[in-house]
Structure 1
């Protein structure tokens, strides 16, 4: 696919930063634990999927093998990869060795809708589970970046879980069919593990693969470094499509015209690390609270006194 619109994107990234002889003073007020929790709650509401698959939030298990396609200049593609690898390091995950099989792919194209359509038609294993809302968003004519993740549910031992709504519906407890009291549908999962815990779900949901598609016609003019950080954030967190405005300084404002972020903010970094601080075999509600608490602790520690 032609990549001429990418030129504007790269030129924007190559513009030198304004120089000044005057000293620069950075001032920041210490954020209180209460303020951090309020802001973290708002950010989580903006970034987390409202109805996560399998009733839990997903994260990557690693290592991450990222691939950038559609950029003919290896140096430019390498810049994008470097930013993604830096974000991977912040999560605590590992980056795979060179020559690895990509599990996180970033594709630059001037026809994002067409590329997504090709993937849906030809690469079933690379498609997300069917979700009418998600598929509608992937077909959007206005999104500069669109993405999806291929998720794999697993039991505590790491074995793949199976969609087994029939077995769940027919099982019984005290002569009461569990299908009468538990959901039996596409998100019902059967595993070989069980216990009497009221909080342990016996299930973890992992991101096995992910694809981000950049529409260069819609992304032209933004900083390539900030764009790479945007992609790293939404892919590694993983975030909803599209995320809402988090209400704090964020690279997520890259395309709304209000600011010109240059990369991840402290708020973005706290959210990026959040999923890797939560327990996997817990309900989405409990995971959300763990993520918010982790974000708040990170923010209080990161913002220096004035």
Structure 2
């Protein structure tokens, strides 16, 4: 997706909470200047900072009629199954009738809907499905520059903050004058960064090849932070996790998790694997392609107090023997140090 500046109104009707509305949250966090308002009639009178802890005074409004200056409607949720709520169809049609583009990261492509296509053509609007792709290449791993350090975020579960960790680390490295690149592999990351590949919507045979193409396209940078997807231990999403891991062949990994979560996302009957077990699993599986170690842990501590987060941080640090931090609460410095140390070690080899 191109990075030209848009003026967005984001649709989160009835679903304005950090997990389901993670697309809205991340766009508000990293591209706040593009957001005019969020549509959610259940939150009218509040700001996004009050409800989602990002976005400052960006308002919630009840409908498109209350927005001014927006040229695009963005679907702000990433629900399980990736389908557009039926009640939202009329809002999408209203936006198209106003000549507004509609941007969606759902698995259900709006451009496959005849009614939406007809409305877009009639009113000179665009349907932008971020997950659409034509990846058909297999991996062969030729011509890769080993001068570019590849760091990959992996997870205990999905929806734990792998994308946010990569963006925060990328921005921190840039502040140090390092030529760094955030490599987006999901719809929200693509919306934030302006490029990337929706790995979870690539045909399974071509996932590794698509990941490899992302690496090849960005190997001119000094460091790339490659967004992770799902988890090797998630019964639904492990296939995309494995394909991405083998395709990007990271030099090092950051293991991400959410404090207090005990079961797999969307599957409460399935308990989470321990961080230690997953650390060993990721290192073993990654090592089938290239030796790689977990060099740090990124904790998502949004649901606990600062004191509880600090105790958890010390516990995990003692258990795994690597730096641990919440990149939002504590800042990314501990993980940045681990990345720099790994880079120096590889140079010496």
Name the TM-score class by shorter chain.
Answer: under 0.3
TM-score, length-scaled by structure 1: 0.26
Looking at both structures, which has the greater relative contact order when contacts are Cα pairs under 8 Å and sequence separation is at least 6? 1
Report the TM-score when normalising by structure 2: 0.23
